[in-house]
Amino acid sequence: FFLSLFLPFFLPSFFVFSLALSLQVTLISAFVFPHLPPKPVNIFFAFCISLSCVSAGILIYWYRQGDLEPKFRNLIYYILFSIIMLCICANLYFHEVGK
């Protein structure tokens, strides 16, 4: 019962915190790994992920202003989850996991 009351407030902050942390790690990894100077492909990949974050941020801003209907909340969650998964894939690529 307590979890059902707490989950609607916890889930958005969890997604935003996870996204912020994974984006910071991805941006730092793009410039530092595997060696200096950074590869242009890594920087481009991180730049594209950052642009996705900007569009998600605009959607969140519009949702909080009330310009979007509540049904768009699930779409925002999906976009945030997709960006987090992109950050994980980018970090695996930057660190050359699986070679």
- For 24-66, write each residue's pLDDT tens digit: 888 888 888 877 788 888 889 889 988 988 888 888 888 888 8
Whether 89 is in a domain gets the answer yes
Whether 32 is in a domain gets the answer no
Whether 11 is in a domain gets the answer no
Whether 74 is in a domain gets the answer yes
Whether 61 is in a domain gets the answer yes
Instruction: Give mean pLDDT, residues 70-99.
Output: 85
d(CA 3, CA 57): 27
Instruction: Give mean pLDDT, residues 70-82.
Output: 85
Who's near 32: CB < 8 A, 6+ residues apart? Answer: 38
* Domain of residue 78, residue span: 41-98
Under the phi-then-psi rule, with left for phi > 0, alpha for psi from -120 to 50, and beta for the rest, what region is 96?
left
Do the beta carbons of residue 46 and residue 62 sit within 8 Å?
Answer: no
For residue 79, the surrounding DSSP H or E stretch is helix 72-94
Number of structural domains in the chain: 1
Whether 69 is in a domain gets the answer yes
Whether 17 is in a domain gets the answer no
Per-chain mean pLDDT for the chain: 80
Neighbours of 98 (CB within 10 A): 6
